[in-house]
Amino acid sequence: MKTAPDSVRTEPRLALITGSARRVGAVIAETLHDRGWTVFIHYRQSETDAAALAARLNARRPDSARILQADLNQPAAPQQLAERVLALTGGRLDALINNASSFYPTPAGSATLEQWDDLFASNARAPFFLSQTLTPALAACQGSIVNIVDIHASRPFRDYPVYCMAKAALAMMTRALAKDLAPRVRVNGVAPGAILWPEEHSESVIDPAVQAKILSGVPLGRLGAPADIARTVAFLVEDAPYITGQIIAVDGGRSQTLGEE
C-alpha cells in the first residue's frame, strides 16, 4: 500500500523516538513535532521530563504527543514498546528514531559482563528488535528508520571500547537493514560528534583537558548543538526518499581529522 503524497495527506505522520525525554532526543521530538508530526516520547527513568515535554507540545497542538515508559535493556521490552505504539496508532508508523543509548567508559582490563550487556542492549539489541517488530507498520507507510550512531563507531574513543563496539554494531545494522528492508523501508544513521558534554553528575563525565583536546580537533572549532542532529534526522525522514544505507556524520568535520584521544 502506498501512502498519499504529502500534498494530499490529511493525517499527521507518526514517529517513535526512543530516549526522547531529555537532551538530543527531546530536541528531535520537538523538531519533528514542529513540522506537524505526532510524536511518541519514550523514556526509561525521566518521567518528569517526558511529561513536561509532552505537555508543552500538546499545548501547541492537542493530542500530538504521548509518553511511553520502557526499560529497553529488558529483553522483552522492545517488542512490548513497539506493540504499545501500534495499539495507539492503529498499526501505523512513519518513522522510528533509535536514539536511546548508554554511554560510559569501560577501560580494557576492568570492563564487566554487566557493562557489556548494558551497552549492547541499549545501543544494538533494542534498536534491532524495535526495528524488526515495527517493520510491517513502517513498510505499509513507506516509512524509515534513523539510528543515532556515533563517529566513534569507526574510530575508537580511548577507554570506551565496549560502547564503541556496540555503536559499530548499530552502524552495521543500519547498512544491513537498509538492504534487507528495501524498497519499502529506508534505514539511515546520524553519527554525532561533539554535541553535548555528558552531565557532570554522570559516570561518563569527560575531563576538561580531554574536552579541550576534542574541540581542538574540530575544524569548525566549536561544539555542535542538538538541533544540528535533529535537523539531519528531519531531513532523512522527510526529504530524502532516495537515500538509504547512509550514516551522516554531524561533527563539524572532526571525523576527517580524528586521531587518538
Domain boundaries, the chain: 14-256
Active site residues: 163
DSSP-assigned beta bridge partners for residue 14: 38
Question: Rounded to an integer, what distance in angstroms lies between the CA atom of residue 37 and that of residue 12?
Answer: 5
Q: What's the rounded mean pLDDT across residues 209-224?
A: 85
Q: What is the pLDDT of residues 84-110, one digit of tens each?
A: 999 999 999 999 999 999 999 999 999
Classify 118 in phi/psi space as left (phi over 0), alpha (psi -120 to 50) or beta. Answer: alpha
- How far CA 124 is from CA of 31, 114, 138, 254, 261, in Å, comes to 25, 15, 19, 24, 24
SS3 246: coil
Q: What's the rounded mean pLDDT across residues 143-172?
A: 96
Cell reading at 260: 587518538
User: Please, what CATH class does the domain formed by 14-256 belong to?
Assistant: alpha beta
Q: Which residue has the higher pLDDT, 157 or 168?
A: 168
Q: What is the pLDDT of residues 235-244, one digit of tens each?
A: 999 999 999 9
**Pairing of β 247-250 and β 38-43:** unpaired
With pLDDT > 70 as the criterion, what percentage of the chain qualifies? 92
Q: How much is the mean pLDDT over the chain?
A: 93
Q: What is the pLDDT of residue 202?
A: 61
Residues 149 and 174 sit within 8 Å (Cβ to Cβ): yes
pLDDT of residue 261 exceeding 90, the answer is no
With pLDDT > 90 as the criterion, what percentage of the chain qualifies? 81
Q: What is the pLDDT of residues 38-86, one digit of tens each?
A: 999 999 999 999 999 999 999 999 999 999 999 999 999 999 999 999 9
3-state SS string for 65-78: EEEEECCCCCCCHH
- How far CA 80 is from CA of 47, 69, 75, 85, in Å, comes to 18, 11, 10, 9
pLDDT band at 208 (very low <50, low <70, confident <90, very high): confident
Fill in the DSSP letter of residue 15.
Answer: E
